[in-house]
Amino acid sequence: MTPSLGSTGGPAPAVPPRPHVRRAWRRTLSLSVVALLALPLAACGSDSDSESEDGTVEISIATFNEFGYEELIEEWNEANPDIQVTQKKVGTWDDAKENLFTKLASGSGLSDIEAIEGDAMPAILAESDAFTDLSDSALDGRWLDWKAAAGSNADGQMIGYGTDIGPEGICYRGDLLEKAGIPADRESVAKRWTTWEDYFADGQKFVKAMPDTAWYDSSGGTAQAMLNQVANPFEQDDNTIDVENDDLKAVWDAVTGHMDLSTNNPQWSDDWNASFQKDAFATMACPGWMMGIIEGNSEGVTGWDFADVFPGGGGNWGGSFLTVPAQSEHPDEAKEFAAWITAPEQQIRAYQAIGAWPSAAEAQEAPEVLESTNEFFNNAPTGEIFSNRAAAVEIQPYKGPKYSDILSAFQAAILRVDEGKNSPDESWETFLTDVAAL
């Protein structure tokens, strides 16, 4: 299920005619990835590369969670009979990541286009030889500067085309707040939760009044939201690992010190998915792409709302990229489609489908984005709110090649405390040991 995002725009723009350009691309495999996974090399070629007898090229795009591409792919295929696209979708980035690195190492089996979660992009850039250079001067200025930089390597090659970004607000169950005696209108909420201290304080009031309901959905999700406001959470700007810094420890202490406010479910787990139907929690950090997931998990549930506030200021959570592995036998066609589906017009459509806030500056300013509302979230003016939340982002955490691995270890450490396997101090020491072993 996707959100009911209102729009003032007209019909979808037609798929533009395609320039028939063919270029040769590098198809070398990253030796470091091979060494990392210690898997044998196989012949290059994607798991769906084919060309039919009539000359039709068939390419695939691998995504995770929800990208809002279903209708867009149908439109492309109808307008481009010579290049047909198939989407392969898995549930989570963790599933996609395992498949990605396994098949990178084996030398074959990847889709022609692979979606990459933003936190993992630094590791991908470190293995640029395993991917096609997507640089194209015609696309200069399409993306926000920091988004374009995050998809480019040190040599200036663009390895990933940005899809969305994740400015964060707070999604909340207004009906549950009212039962707990906490003002639930958007204006009151926006005034009450400007700091993490205020947010946690309201959480304590809530769980005292509603002892069978948690304040937020996940300790790990709240930790991630707080990490998004730390300039150097795990690595210094020279990629030196530094996890014993005051800012990271402050996040750890805040989250592990408020375990009574959490469902104690890890995000994306079956229990977490089910918690939406059970009125199990009242609030959660909410980037744009999360809204479709909330609605999809909350069929038949009423009371959701969305506030123009984020504790501590602004924060960006996530936002993905599209890459073309060097394995692809059709890199030109894959690049062509990736450029089309990340164009501003298509980013607008993806936002309307699942709430993914565009990374293209032009799309962010479109009336059908800025003036959009979301019926499921009490007709919240989502376009206006996300625009404000994006403007409030002042910090982009530094993410070096080890960021994603360290983040996984950090989340695992929080989960051990959630599950009662370790005390916070014990789990923190294990985290330090795990990082040292990376």
CB 306 within 8 A of CB 385: yes
361 vs 311: CA distance, rounded Å: 25
pLDDT at 252: 98
pLDDT at 94: 86
193 vs 222: CA distance, rounded Å: 14
Strands 320-323, 161-162: pairing kind: antiparallel
Record the tokens describing residue 37, joined without a space.
């996974």
Radius of gyration of the chain (CA): 22
329 vs 202: CA distance, rounded Å: 55
Record the tokens describing residue 218, joined without a space.
């996940």
pLDDT at 265: 96
Q: What are phi and psi of 344, to 5 degrees?
A: -50, -40
Record the tokens describing residue 302, joined without a space.
């009423």
- In terms of phi and psi (left: phi > 0; alpha: psi -120 to 50; beta: otherwise), the region of 10 is beta
Q: What is the DSSP string of 215-245?
A: EES-HHHHHHHHHTT-SSSSB-TT--B----
Record the tokens describing residue 312, joined without a space.
């501590």
Domains within the chain, CATH numbers bracketed: 31-165+318-368 (3.40.190.10), 168-317+377-436 (3.40.190.10)
298 vs 275: CA distance, rounded Å: 9
The total number of residues written for the chain in this structure: 438
The ranges of the chain with pLDDT < 70 are 1-53
pLDDT at 75: 98
pLDDT at 51: 63
23 vs 384: CA distance, rounded Å: 42
Give, in order, the Cα–Cα distances in Å from 131 to each of 63, 67, 83, 153: 17, 21, 21, 11
Of 170, 180, 184, 252, the closest CA to residue 217 belongs to 170
CB 307 within 8 A of CB 198: no
β-bridge partners, 285: 170
177 vs 207: CA distance, rounded Å: 10
